Amino acid sequence: MFSGGYQGKYLRINLTNKTIEEEKINPEWQKKFLGGRGLAARFYYDEIGRDIKPLSSDNKLIFFTGPLTGTPGPATTKIGLATKSPETRQYLCSNGGGFFGPHLKKSGYDGLIIEGKADKPVYIVIEDDQVKIKNGKSLWGKTTFEVNKILREEVGREDQVLSCGPAAEKRVRLSSIQIGERSIGRGGAGAVIASKNLKAIAVKGTGEIPISEPGKFREVAKDAVPFVRESKATHTKYGTAQYTAIMSELGCYPTRNFQTGVFDGVETIAAEYMKKNFFIKNQACFRCPVACSQLCEVKEGVFKGAKSDPEYETIGTLGAICGVSDFAAIIKANEICDELGIDTMSVGVIIGFAMELFERRYITTKDTGGLELKFGNGVAMVKMIEKIARREDIGNLLAEGMLGIAERMPEMKKYLMHVKGMPLAAYDPRGFYGNALTYGTSSRGACHNVGGWSIRDELLSGEYDRFAVEGKGKLIKSIQDTRGYIDSLGICTVVRSGYGFTDKPKGRVLEYLTGYNFTPELMTIGERVYNLERLIINREGRFRKDDMLPERLRTEKMPEGQAKGHVISDEIYNTMLDEYYKARGWDKEGRPTKVRLQKLSLDDLI
Amino acid sequence: MKITVKYFLDFKKISGHSKEEFFLENDKVNVKDIFKVLNEKYQIEFEKVVPKGIVMVNNRSINQLEKENTILKDGDTVIIMPMISGG
């Protein structure tokens, strides 16, 4: 069916039996779900049932590249992951950049499924068709930086290595997987890897990726580069940190655990300040002309020597949400998170919650191991991350994630900022109403990306006022469907428009790559992926009741700034949600209807 | 009338300010008029800003108002920032 873009097979590694199998991929599935997030979700649907516990040996890690991964186009870097999340206890999709995905594909595999559990620590090395499960005893207990450095010797680059850190070994439910300095951050997948006694996977691929019409493909891919460079020049200059001061001005920058949307300390965590005082160099993922990662270093003070590349969400969660205006503390916190293997976003929101409890005196220094865990205390924030990683003091409870905390402290639920167990990102929906649906209906819990990043459309479009209710359901559906296919292609979303991948896809790049004209079907594929994910989370018990927002956003008016006085009341939210379900063809409880599933050729799953 | 202009990122660099106040004698002023002042002072031209940037009056983009003809009132704030595109 395809004459390029796919290798047509994946690796299935069972750690219990130590078996390594090559299996063929049904090309009909690739036609329907592309690859990456979509294809991984399709395998998840068949292989990870409702009752499988996230940290049990029955859970699986399903990695898939997309057709563009590893090809000579801009930012063809991504690999998608589906697994049952220890943090949200439901379906998780996540993805990562770096060089891991491209090298897996060049090894001859579109994907990799890890199942079972090794009886002792192991790591996996894939070198083209040579796949080995090796003794990982000497790696166990080491940080991701140490592991990646050691395994670099075997494969070439640190970002060809995917590993988990000490936090994952302690089953911290916010654990990330690191690919060099890039992260598969959200949802705690690091703990899933560690629960299988698997420390790392290193890959080196030297083969070719077939391309249907190489000359034409290269020409189109080459043409995309100058457009991407020019249109993303601000990303190159400032990274995603460019939005920090802007979001505070817009009044939607969550501050001190979402108590307000304007951060009075924003100046010293904004992009210009970062650039002037901490920036060292840009870093790029595989074949990326943008290189948005801004490597920073602390040159003096208590955090001297710390190095990391904080992005907008990290700065927002470890900065404003924790009331921290010391950028050096954010660099250090980011570094520790990467090193120990923790999601910067989840940990930032959870520490913001703990800081609010501390200030309200629900917890004291007895709980925090002596830390004055007040808003703005960057040193305490950094130390609390270490405590979470080691499960010390209250860090042991915080390591359980939002759902675990809610079970143990039900009276504190009103201060927990999450949907379906996933902590919110660094946008407050009281400043952009569509963002409320983004968080509420995202397949993996409150995610600004999977749920549909609506800020630009709500700010700029003449059609959708940021504080309007009507039209938001339709808007969010469209953004989610767009993202659904983008995440399935194997490229970074930052460069998508260079290829013509918008809500009105155009161009022939996929035809030249695969020999099949995917372009007219892309939005349908995105919608299909979203509905498949909804079927999965319905099966896992998530319905309308789980699409609701945290109490604070529903009941407390924004106290200041551009969104002053706004609140996402139940009436507002339910009106938007009804419109969204209708646009999706779902019933009142948020279940896809038979008619819509048939329309999307998902009727085999009914 | 008093109009405050706030600049972000590249526009902050060009103007050398994050915030600036303008006192205009004319009572009927629109967005285009304030850009005439900005063009004279910093060569920030409306036509060049708009395709690649965002102009707001108070808490709304001018796209959601009357675009360059949006009338400004005494005390209004005009915000100029580069285009945002997620990531």
Total number of domains constituting chain A: 3
pTM: 0.97
Nearest to residue A353, comparing CAs of A311, A401, A387, A315? A401
Could you tell me if A432 and A259 are in contact, meaning their C-beta atoms sit under 8 angstroms apart? no
The residue of chain A with its CA nearest to that of B58 is A562
Domain that includes residue A40, residue range: 9-204
Query: Does residue A502 sit within a domain?
Result: no
The pLDDT value given to residue B84: 87
Minimum-distance CB partner of A465 among B9, B64, B82: B64
Find residues 271-300 of chain A whose CB sits inside 8 Å of chain B. Answer: 271-272, 292
Find residues 56-75 of chain A whose CB sits inside 8 Å of chain B. Answer: none
What's the rounded Cα separation, in Å, for the pair A362 and A28? 55
Same domain, A179 and A32: yes
Is A494 close to B87, i.e. CB distance below 8 A? Answer: yes
Q: How close B25 gets to chain A, by Cα (Å)?
A: 27
Q: How many CB pairs under 8 A join A and B?
A: 59
Is A243 close to B54, i.e. CB distance below 8 A? Answer: no
The residue of chain B with its CA nearest to that of A494 is B87
Find residues 7-26 of chain B whose CB sits inside 8 Å of chain A. Answer: 8-10, 12
Q: How far is CA A25 from CA A42, A481, A516, in A?
A: 11, 24, 17
B87 touches A at CB < 8 Å: yes
Q: Give SS3 for A556.
A: coil
Is A231 close to B85, i.e. CB distance below 8 A? Answer: yes
Q: To 10 degrees, the CA torsion angle through A593, A529, A185, A538? A: 20
B63 touches A at CB < 8 Å: yes
Same domain, A408 and A437: no
Same domain, A257 and A196: no
Same domain, A361 and A255: yes
The residue of chain B with its CA nearest to that of A231 is B52
Same domain, A182 and A326: no
Q: How close B40 gets to chain A, by Cα (Å)?
A: 25
Q: What is the identity of the amino acid at A470?
A: E
Could you tell me if A471 and A496 are in contact, meaning their C-beta atoms sit under 8 angstroms apart? no
- Residue of B55, B64, B78 to mutate for A, most A C-beta atoms under 10 A: B64
Q: What does the block give as tokens for B60?
A: 């709304």
Which ranges of A161-213 does DSSP label H, i.e. alpha helix?
166-169, 189-195
Is B87 close to A271, i.e. CB distance below 8 A? Answer: no
Same domain, A540 and A598: yes
Query: Does residue A441 sit within a domain?
Result: yes
Minimum-distance CB partner of B87 among A240, A245, A462: A240
Is A460 close to B10, i.e. CB distance below 8 A? Answer: no
Q: What does the block give as tokens for A542?
A: 């998530």
* A494 neighbourhood in chain B, CB within 8 Å: 85-87
What's the rounded Cα separation, in Å, for the pair A559 and A233? 35
Which ranges of A361-489 does DSSP label H, i.e. alpha helix?
365-368, 378-390, 395-398, 401-408, 434-441, 455-460, 472-486
Could you tell me if A435 and A414 are in contact, meaning their C-beta atoms sit under 8 angstroms apart? no
Same domain, A243 and A164: no
For chain B, report the end-to-end CA distance as a whole number of angstroms: 39
The residue of chain B with its CA nearest to that of A486 is B87
Q: What does the block give as tokens for A231?
A: 């249109």
- Which H or E element spans position A529? helix A522-539
A312 touches B at CB < 8 Å: yes
Of the residues A178, A204, A230, the one at which a domain ends: A204
Structure letter (DSSP) for residue A360: T
B84 touches A at CB < 8 Å: yes
Minimum-distance CB partner of A460 among B54, B82, B87: B54
Same domain, A475 and A580: yes
3-state SS record for A300-318:
CCCCCCCEECCCHHHHHHH
Q: How close B3 gets to chain A, by Cα (Å)?
A: 17
Question: In the CATH scheme, what is the code of domain B2-82?
Answer: 3.10.20.30
Same domain, A75 and A121: yes
Average pLDDT per 10 consecutive residues for chain A, totaling 606 residues? 97 98 98 98 98 98 98 96 98 96 98 98 97 98 96 91 98 96 94 98 97 97 92 93 97 98 98 97 94 97 98 98 98 98 98 98 98 98 98 98 98 98 98 98 97 94 92 98 98 94 96 98 98 98 98 98 98 98 98 97 91
The pLDDT value given to residue A7: 98
Q: Which residue in the block uniquely carries the two structure tokens 């609010």?
A: A356
> Bridge partners of A122?
A135, A198
Q: Any idea where the domains of chain B sit in the sequence?
A: 2-82
Q: How close B27 gets to chain A, by Cα (Å)?
A: 25
A78 touches B at CB < 8 Å: no
The pLDDT value given to residue A158: 87
Nearest to residue A573, comparing CAs of A477, A439, A465? A439
Is B86 close to A453, i.e. CB distance below 8 A? Answer: yes
Q: How far is CA A114 from CA A91, A198, A257, A441, in A?
A: 16, 10, 37, 29
Q: How close A566 gets to chain B, by Cα (Å)?
A: 12
Sequence-separated (6 or more) residues with CB below 8 Å from residue A5: A67, A68, A71, A209, A210, A211, A212, A510, A513, A514
Q: Give SS3 for A14.
A: strand
Query: Does residue A328 sit within a domain?
Result: yes
Same domain, A61 and A191: yes
pLDDT surpassing 80 at residue B86: no
The pLDDT value given to residue B87: 55
B65 touches A at CB < 8 Å: no
Find residues 224-253 of chain A whose CB sits inside 8 Å of chain B. Answer: 231-232, 234-235, 238, 240, 242-243, 245-246, 249-251
Q: Give SS3 for A288.
A: coil
Same domain, A262 and A408: yes
CATH of the domain at A29: 3.60.9.10
The residue of chain A with its CA nearest to that of B80 is A246
- CB neighbours (10 Å) of residue A367? 17
Same domain, A149 and A266: no
- Residue of A246, A285, A476 to mutate for B, most B C-beta atoms under 10 A: A246
- Residue of A234, A290, A501 to mutate for B, most B C-beta atoms under 10 A: A234
Is A243 close to B84, i.e. CB distance below 8 A? Answer: yes
Question: Tens digit of pLDDT for each residue in B35-80?
Answer: 999 999 999 999 988 888 999 999 999 999 999 999 999 999 999 9
A433 touches B at CB < 8 Å: no
Reported as a pLDDT band with limits 50, 70 and 90, residue B27 is confident
